[in-house]
Amino acid sequence: MITSKLPHVGTTIFTRMSALAAGCGALNLSQGFPDFDAPQSLREAMARHVMAGHNQYAPMAGVMQLREQICAQLGLHRNITANPDTEITVVPGATEGIFCAVMACVRPGDEVIMFDPSYDSYQPSVELAGGRAVHVPLRPGTFALDRERLEAAVSPRTRLVMVNSPHNPSGSTLSREDLIFLQALVERHNLLVISDEVYEHLVFDGRRHHSALEFEGLRARSFVLFSFGKTFSVTGWKTGYCVAPPALTTELRKIHQFVCFVAVTPVQLAVADFMQAEPGYPATLAAFYQHKRDLFCKALQGSRFSFAPSAGTYFQLLDYSAISDEPDIALCELWTRQHGIASIPISVFYETPPTQHYLRFCFAKSDPVLVAAAERLCEI
């Protein structure tokens, strides 16, 4: 037997709830993946490259066609210029990219600030690097950045700040003022940043996403992660990319080459083809998913849940305080079995569980599924 490096980590809540949903025949609004197909031309491009024999190793940093298309998209959607050779690394999923970024810069004894509720891969990555996670709760109810608590959390041992916007699981977003504050903080204390922006195009109600790449002081010290899986509805393709300045990119790639070495070749080529053919596609996503959010929320108006419509991502939090005092984990399992609707408890993303009672529901589902899910929730 060996001594576990992650003694407090078990199977992720996403795997557990999806398995329970499948076993119960429940509507699965737990794990964050669409139940509808990706664009047909993207799927056809994937098949075309597989059948053309493009099935061997890609360059470690990613195929150049894709890195060039990433740069074109950054220019089109963010007005940002990037170097495909020295600043773009294609990774087999943003989670792998985040892990490699942490391993590249966190050393034993370093502290890493993250914001609760924080995505479940962040702390294990820090602990495997020998660091210590310092949890700063977002403001209750609004899930906004608490700037005073962030400032107070910085110590001489702080090495890195991890941010996530649009935020999973809450759906909140960082404002331009938040990022200006963060920029001043990390410059003053000489800190690095990992900015998880995988839901960058899923921002609603006329808001816009503010990327760390848009702020010179942040860009100079940030690893910024994105996901083709989220943007193109192909989460199973597990492909994303990291944008970082040359010095940070060099260190990221040193780790990346010994973790997965490369992302999948035909996936990269297919995505590059689609991005070149449909450069405006990401700009259609906000309206597409806002329709789904609004459909789900409108159908819940007669329920006993309270909620504020999500500002971003494809997740909606529902407060069940008026219904039950049960712990959220137990309630998720119970309602999956009894009512055939699976969700995610958000207490698992906290160091200290919140006093509010929230469940997270994924609305990246077909309209009939969302209506049926809401009907079941209204019956509770």
Residues of the chain with CATH 3.90.1150.10: 13-38+283-378
pLDDT score for 233 = 97
**What would the 3-class secondary structure string for the chain be?**
CCCCCCCCCCCCHHHHHHHHHHHHCCEECCCCCCCCCCCHHHHHHHHHHHHCCCCCCCCCCCCHHHHHHHHHHHHHHHCCCCCCCCCEEEECCHHHHHHHHHHHHCCCCCEEEEEECCCCCHHHHHHHCCCEEEEEECCCCCCCCCHHHHHHHCCCCEEEEEEECCCCCCCCCCCHHHHHHHHHHHHHHCCEEEEECCCCCCECCCCCCCCHHHCHHHHCCEEEEEEHHHHCCCHHHCCEEEECCHHHHHHHHHHHHHHCCCCCHHHHHHHHHHHHHCCCHHHHHHHHHHHHHHHHHHHCCCCCCECCCCCECCEEEEECCCCCCCCHHHHHHHHHHHHCEECEECHHHCCCCCCCCEEEEECCCCHHHHHHHHHHHHCC
CATH topology of domain 40-281: Aspartate Aminotransferase; domain 2 (3.40.640)
pTM over 0.85: yes
pLDDT score for 290 = 98
CATH of domain 13-38+283-378: 3.90.1150.10
pLDDT (tens digit, 0 to 9) for every residue of the chain, 380 residues total?
Answer: 889 999 988 888 888 999 999 999 999 999 899 999 999 999 999 999 999 999 999 999 999 999 999 999 999 999 999 999 999 999 999 999 999 999 999 999 999 999 999 999 999 999 999 999 999 999 999 999 999 999 999 999 999 999 999 999 999 999 999 999 999 999 999 999 999 999 999 999 999 999 999 999 999 999 999 999 999 999 999 999 999 999 999 999 999 999 999 999 999 999 999 999 999 999 999 999 999 999 999 999 989 999 999 999 999 999 999 999 999 999 999 999 999 999 999 999 999 988 889 999 999 999 999 999 999 999 99
Residues of the chain with CATH 3.40.640.10: 40-281
pLDDT score for 31 = 87
pLDDT score for 10 = 85
